[in-house]
Structure 1
Amino acid sequence: MSDVNQSFGKALVNALIGERGHIRIAKALPDIDAELAGRTHEAMPYTIYQLVKHMHYWQQFMLEHVEGRKPQMPASVNESWPTETGPQDNDAWQEDIRAFLSGIDLAVSIAETAQLNDALPHFPGETKGGLLRNIASHNSYHLGEIVLLRRFYGAWPPPGGGYPA
């Protein structure tokens, strides 16, 4: 692995987990219960639950490409948003969080070990590193919305503190 690949991989890992730029994504979600996850707010078009499900949808889509598979492109971006506003119960919600964070772990593992400038067979013009960067930025964007919703609801910071406070 080249020094450039290794340096970019380290930067991707930091972006994927939320290092430096904002709270670590794994700290911002686990304490949210099903009620909070499904709460609606007049200023926001989505619930925390819908945001996490949407993030997970695209994260998995991009990871499949990175792994050399060809996932089915949705007919519309609306397919990546759940229609239900909240989870069935706390157990289902915790499983949603676990599945989402597991995808981040996989992305981190790939960033640490893959040749990041490798082209993707089913995504012309894109590389492994490019899609991992896309996962990081997409998750970061929506994590900001989750933090904002938590602030609206008086549920910020999470246990152990939040950055920014």
Structure 2
Amino acid sequence: MSDVNQSFGQALVKSLVGERGHIRIARALPDIDVTLAARTHDAMPYTIYQLVKHMHYWQQFMLEHLEGRKPQLPANVSESWPEEKGPQDEATWKADIQAFLDGVDQAVAIAETAQLDDPLLYFPGETKAGLLRNIASHNSYHLGEIVLLRRFYGAWPPPGGGFPA
């Protein structure tokens, strides 16, 4: 692995986990309970639950490409948003959060070990680095919405603090 590849991989890892730009993604989600996850707000078209499920959907889609598979592209982006406003129960919600965070860990492992300028077999014109960057930016974008919702609901910062407080 070249020094440039390794340096860029380290930058991708920081983006994937949320270092420097905002609170770490793993700190912003685990304390959200099922009630908060399903809460609606007039100013937002979706709940925290729907955001996490949407983030996980596209993260998994991109991870499959990174692993050399060809995931089925949805007929419409609306398919990546769950219709239900909240999870069935607390255990299901905790499993949803863990599955999403496991995907972040998987993306980090790829960023740390892959030749980042390798092209993707089923994604013409895209590289591993490009797709990892897409995962990081998509998650970051929606994490900002989750933080905003938490602030609306008076559920910010999480235990241990958060930025911004």
Superposition TM-score tier, normalisation by shorter sequence? over 0.9
Shift of 1:164: 1.7
Partner residue of 2:90?
Answer: 90
When normalised by structure 1's length, the TM-score is 1.00
Is residue 24 of structure 2 the alignment partner of residue 4 of structure 1? no
Aligned residue for 2:125, secondary structure, equals: coil
Unaligned runs of 5+ in 1: none
Percent identity reads 81
Structure 1: distance between partners of 2:77 and 2:52: 15
Aligned residue for 1:125, secondary structure, equals: strand
Report Cα offsets for 1:67-109 as digits up to 9, x if no partner.
1000000000000000000000110000000000000000000
Structure 2: distance between partners of 1:164 and 1:3: 34
Is residue 27 of structure 2 the alignment partner of residue 32 of structure 1? no
User: Equivalences for 1:69-148 in 2 at 5 Å?
Assistant: 69-148=69-148
Structure 1: distance between partners of 2:11 and 2:79: 31
Runs ≥4 residues deviating over 6 A? none
Shift of 1:152: 0.3
Amino acid at match of 2:28: A
Partner residue of 1:19?
Answer: 19
Amino acid at match of 1:50: Q
Note the aligned Cα RMSD (angstroms): 0.3
Report Cα offsets for 1:112-158 as digits up to 9, x if no partner.
00000000000000000100000000000000000000000000000
When normalised by structure 2's length, the TM-score is 1.00
Which structure has more strand as a fraction of its residues? Answer: 2
Structure 1: distance between partners of 2:39 and 2:163: 23
